Structure 1
Amino acid sequence: MLTHFQFKPLYENKQLPGWRFSFYFNKHKFDGIYHQNGKIEWTSAAPNGEDEIKLLEQIHELMLFHVYDQ
């Protein structure tokens, strides 16, 4: 389970899509960029294999809830 999920706009002009995010998973911090098309670009080391697949789903859900469903 990921914890301490945070995000902020990627650009100063908050009308432009793109967000930086960070969270902890298994006592490791992960950072990335969430693009408007849903693509995730890791700015830290990417999680391994199956963990990455699960985390991508959770990140998409969190971003949809916090950014698009407000």
Structure 2
Amino acid sequence: MLTHFQYKKLYANTEIPGWNISFYFNKQKFHGIYHQNGQIEWTSQIPSAEDEIRLIEQIHELMLFHVYDH
């Protein structure tokens, strides 16, 4: 499970979508860019293929809740 999830707008102009994200998973910190289409561009180490699938699902849920549903 990922913890300490944080997101911040990528651009100062709020009309342009994109977010910097960071979180911890298995005691390692990960960073990435969450694009409007749901694609994640990792800016830190890339999680293992198995972990990445689970993490992407969790990140999508968090972004839907925090950014799109509030």
Runs of 4+ in 1 over 2 A off after TM superposition: none
Q: Distance in 1 between matches of 2:13 and 2:21?
A: 17
Q: Distance in 1 between matches of 2:38 and 2:49?
A: 19
User: Aligned residue for 2:63?
Assistant: 63
SS of the equivalent of 2:24 reads: strand
Q: Distance in 1 between matches of 2:39 and 2:19?
A: 11
User: Aligned residue for 2:8?
Assistant: 8
Q: TM-score, normalised by structure 2?
A: 0.97
Q: How far off its partner does 1:23 sit? A: 0.0
Q: How far off its partner does 1:25 sit? A: 0.3
Q: How far off its partner does 1:33 sit? A: 0.3
Q: How far off its partner does 1:54 sit? A: 0.3
Give the number of equivalent residue pairs.
Answer: 70
Q: Distance in 2 between matches of 1:49 and 1:39?
A: 15
Q: TM-score, normalised by structure 1?
A: 0.97
- Structure 2: gaps (5+ residues): none
Q: Distance in 2 between matches of 1:36 and 1:52?
A: 18
Residue 41 of structure 1 aligns with an amino acid whose one-letter code is E
* Aligned pairs for 1:27-42 within 5 A: 27-42=27-42
User: Aligned residue for 1:51?
Assistant: 51
